[in-house]
């Protein structure tokens, strides 16, 4: 299995991806296939060599103590019903791995409605937050100060305290962390230098920083206050004078409040999952990177700029099917994190398009044979998060869009590096994901039709993705555009300079005097009329009616056999590509926009495919993958 090891004490660079034997469950244990690993600040501190007098770890070792995934096997004596269940667990170490062995006492079931990444992010933070808030005895109006309020535990505490009715002041460094704290429920925020200024007195302090910051927070406690010191990212506990605490009657509680025996942890972890499912407990995941990039997570924690939690993604999620059929054959599955080969990149998908061809492939209408599970979706937008051998010109984190062979409906997928285009800043990921197929098809068919100045182009189903892209490009080429569409879309189409007409009987009478070219994107039996209107089947192209195309001598344009480089050039400069000119390739030009008709999550892929089959929407159906994994 793949793991990340600390090879020696030092900076983040000592974290190295390695191979290790699969773990074997011992007495009272089970083996978990890890989907997400938690990253704690203490992981980075221990890696640096700090705390060796309290934590006797010696390199090489695999860090990590919190995971979420599925149970793969159990030891004799452990209830076999655990196998296959979604779980989160606390482990004694070794969490940065594809598999871990965990004591059943520290394993908790994850409710179906709770994403595994959220369970991993809160498996250690949640019990600590619940324990601290409960020990503080918060009531409506209690004045609470939280230091480290922009961190994972700090944000969870802010939210729980605000829900309890307390008035929360969040101490955090920088506007991003303070903004997150306000969103979590804080009444006000302060940066750490502001703690030294005279001001409000507090009843309770939750100190997640320690050192001088903790000392400043302690001085703001009123008589009889309660001080909880549970974090030492500064490297030292809060600077508190015990005599001063006694004089003011302040109760000081240390790390013991967030350290649990296995049975107590199991109880609090189960409560954590219930509170997450109910929406009462949450935190922010500010960084999620694949397992092999654990160095980045540690570097972000050490820079003290990360908002919330960092997690490591061990698996991906993908919409797949195992047999041809209707939308119901689609399932969202956990899959091994894909690894790019030579000339390839892995894309962390932000958005993906749903196209008519997707459902045709899924239904087996194109004669494709299945050889195991198949992914679906051929266009996407996202960020590059792994480079295969030999790839140049791209960097990790680059925002891209383009086409893939299949599998765009996923959190992570593989793409050929030379088939991607840099995403323009003025396009959102969803807008960019709506373009590759529509623009590529529009450019190809307009060139095949020879659309240019002075010609009148009729587009059947002009309100679809291809129709809208073709209409905008044809107008830019100097052509007049007529389009069939439902009447409710006519206003938008007129705004694009399209002359809209309704579908149905009597269409010929509703058309203007002349039609020179026809692009059929509807497949609604319009080819006979289209040939009649143009007087020549060579002036008609369909992308949707293969059955009638041969009967009427019309070209069916599928894009099969075309040069992939043409699709890339089309995305760089659609207008130049449609003219047949040399396309600019320094930066993509946004000359076409396709409206996003409706957005679905990966979990609603079946619904998205059904909606695609229904038709009658303006623009493109988009899958938003961002909600399925943190970014």
Does some domain include residue 410? yes
pTM of the model: 0.88
Residue 631 — pLDDT band, cuts 50, 70, 90?
Answer: low
Of the candidates 365, 270, 279, which has an alpha carbon nearest to the alpha carbon of residue 326? 365
Q: Are 387 and 475 found together in one domain?
A: no
String of b and e for 540-558 (b: at least 16 CB within 10 Å)?
A: bbbbbbeebbeebebbbbe
Q: In which residue are the tokens 């969803």 written?
A: 430
% of the chain beyond a pLDDT of 90 = 79
Q: In which residue are the tokens 């594809």 written?
A: 98
Q: Are 222 and 249 in contact (CB under 8 A)?
A: no
The CATH number linked to 551 is 3.40.50.720
Q: Are 254 and 348 found together in one domain?
A: no
Does some domain include residue 401? yes
Residue 107 and residue 540: Cα distance in Å, rounded?
63
Number of Cα atoms under 13 Å in the Cβ half of residue 398: 18
**DSSP code, position 10:** S
What are the CA-CA distances from residue 336 to residues 15, 304, 523 (Å)? 21, 31, 39
Q: Are 34 and 6 found together in one domain?
A: yes
> DSSP 3-state assignment of 377?
coil
Does some domain include residue 630? no
Residue 583 and residue 266: Cα distance in Å, rounded?
61
% of the chain beyond a pLDDT of 70 = 98
Range of the domain at 252: 126-258
Pairing of strands 379-387, 412-416: unpaired
The overall average pLDDT reported for the chain is 93
Length of the chain: 631
Does some domain include residue 629? no
Q: Are 95 and 156 found together in one domain?
A: no
Residue 599 and residue 115: Cα distance in Å, rounded?
19
Residue 72 — pLDDT band, cuts 50, 70, 90?
Answer: very high
Q: For position 477, what pLDDT does the model report?
A: 95
Does some domain include residue 443? yes
Extract the tokens encoding 601: 């999550």
Q: For position 582, what pLDDT does the model report?
A: 66
Helices (H), 112-199: 116-122, 125-136, 152-163, 175-184
Does some domain include residue 274? no
Residue 558 — pLDDT band, cuts 50, 70, 90?
Answer: confident
Q: Are 330 and 239 found together in one domain?
A: no
For residue range 322-355, list pLDDT tens digits in order: 999 999 999 999 999 999 999 999 999 999 999 9
Average pLDDT in the 402-419 region?
A: 96
Average pLDDT in the 33-40 region?
A: 97
Beta bridge partners of 489: none
Does some domain include residue 263? no
- DSSP characters for 378-402? -EEEEEEEEE-TT--S--TT-EEEE
Q: Are 138 and 237 found together in one domain?
A: yes
Angle between helical axes of 564-572 and 436-449 (0-180°, round to 10): 100
Average pLDDT in the 509-516 region?
A: 89
Q: Are 453 and 565 found together in one domain?
A: yes
Spatial neighbors of 336 by CB under 8 A, at least 6 apart, are: 315, 316
CB atoms within 10 A of CB 490: 17
Residue 105 and residue 509: Cα distance in Å, rounded?
76
Pairing of strands 379-387, 344-354: antiparallel
Q: Are 573 and 445 found together in one domain?
A: yes
Q: For position 326, what pLDDT does the model report?
A: 95
Domain count, the chain: 4
Q: Are 504 and 557 found together in one domain?
A: yes
Pairing of strands 480-484, 499-501: parallel
> DSSP 3-state assignment of 314?
coil
For residue range 569-600, list pLDDT tens digits in order: 888 888 888 887 765 655 667 789 999 999 99
Residue 536 and residue 483: Cα distance in Å, rounded?
19
The CATH number linked to 325 is 3.90.180.10
Q: Are 425 and 448 found together in one domain?
A: no
Q: Are 472 and 571 found together in one domain?
A: yes
Residue 356 and residue 364: Cα distance in Å, rounded?
13
Residue 137 — pLDDT band, cuts 50, 70, 90?
Answer: very high
Q: Are 427 and 389 found together in one domain?
A: yes
Does some domain include residue 121? no
For residue range 209-233, list pLDDT tens digits in order: 988 998 999 999 999 999 999 977 7
pLDDT of 168 > 60? The answer is: yes
Q: In which residue are the tokens 């705390």 written?
A: 51
Percentages helix, strand, coil for the chain (3-state, rounded to 5) are: 35, 25, 40
């Amino acid at each position: 299995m793949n793991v990340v090891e600390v090879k020696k004490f030092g900076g983040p660079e000592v974290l190295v991806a390695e191979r290790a034997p699969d773990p074997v469950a011992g007495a009272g244990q089970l083996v978990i296939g890890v989907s997400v690993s938690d990253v704690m600040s203490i992981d980075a501190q221990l890696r640096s060599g700090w705390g060796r007098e309290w934590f006797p770890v010696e390199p090489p070792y695999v860090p990590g103590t919190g995971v979420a995934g599925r149970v793969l096997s159990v030891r004799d004596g452990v209830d076999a019903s655990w196998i296959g269940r979604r779980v989160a667990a606390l482990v004694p170490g070794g969490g940065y791995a594809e598999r871990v062995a965990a004591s059943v006492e520290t394993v908790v079931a994850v409710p179906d409605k709770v994403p595994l990444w959220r369970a991993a992010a809160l498996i250690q933070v949640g019990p600590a937050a619940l324990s601290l808030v409960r020990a503080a005895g918060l009531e409506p109006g209690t004045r609470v100060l939280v230091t480290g309020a922009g961190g994972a535990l700090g944000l969870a505490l802010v939210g729980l305290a605000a829900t309890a009715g307390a008035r929360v002041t969040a101490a955090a460094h920088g506007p991003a962390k303070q903004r997150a704290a306000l969103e979590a429920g804080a009444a006000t925020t302060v940066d750490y230098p502001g703690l030294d200024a005279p001001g409000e007195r507090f009843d309770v302090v939750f100190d997640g920083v320690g050192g001088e910051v903790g000392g400043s927070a302690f001085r703001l406690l009123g008589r009889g206050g309660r001080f909880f010191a549970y974090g030492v990212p500064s490297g030292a506990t809060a600077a508190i004078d015990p005599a001063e605490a006694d004089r003011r009657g302040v109760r000081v509680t240390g790390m013991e409040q967030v350290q649990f025996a296995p049975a107590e942890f199991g109880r609090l972890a189960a409560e954590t999952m219930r509170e997450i499912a109910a929406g009462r407990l949450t935190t922010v995941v500010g960084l999620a990177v694949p397992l092999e990039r654990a160095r980045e997570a540690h570097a972000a924690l050490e820079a003290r700029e990360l908002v919330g939690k960092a997690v490591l993604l061990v698996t991906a999620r993908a919409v797949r099917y195992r047999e041809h059929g209707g939308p119901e054959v689609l399932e969202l599955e956990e899959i091994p994190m894909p690894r790019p080969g030579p000339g390839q990149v892995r894309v962390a998908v932000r958005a993906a398009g749903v196209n008519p061809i997707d459902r045709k492939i899924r239904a087996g209408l194109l004669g494709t044979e299945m050889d195991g599970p198949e992914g679906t979706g051929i266009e996407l937008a996202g960020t590059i998060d792994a480079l295969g051998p030999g790839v140049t010109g791209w960097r990790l984190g680059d925002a891209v869009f383009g086409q893939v062979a299949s599998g765009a409906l996923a959190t992570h997928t593989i793409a050929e590096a030379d088939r991607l285009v840099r995403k323009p800043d003025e396009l959102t990921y969803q807008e960019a994901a709506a373009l590759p197929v529509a623009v590529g098809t529009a450019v190809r068919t307009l060139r095949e039709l020879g659309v240019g100045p002075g010609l009148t182009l009729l587009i059947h189903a002009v309100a679809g993705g291809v129709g809208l892209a073709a209409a905008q490009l044809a107008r830019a080429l100097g052509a007049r555009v007529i389009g069939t569409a439902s009447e409710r879309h006519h206003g938008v189409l007129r705004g694009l300079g399209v002359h809209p007409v309704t579908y149905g009987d009597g269409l010929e009478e509703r058309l203007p005097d002349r039609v020179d070219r026809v692009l059929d994107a509807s497949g609604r039996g319009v080819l006979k009329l289209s040939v009649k209107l143009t007087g020549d089947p060579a002036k008609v192209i369909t992308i949707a009616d293969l059955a009638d195309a041969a009967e009427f001598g019309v070209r069916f344009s599928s894009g099969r056999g075309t040069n992939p480089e043409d699709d890339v050039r089309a995305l760089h400069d659609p207008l130049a590509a449609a003219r047949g000119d040399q396309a600019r390739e320094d930066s993509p030009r946004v000359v076409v926009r396709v409206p996003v008709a409706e957005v679905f999550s990966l979990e609603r892929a079946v619904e998205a495919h059904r909606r695609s089959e229904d038709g009658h929407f303006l623009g493109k159906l988009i899958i938003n993958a961002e909600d399925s994994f943190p970014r």
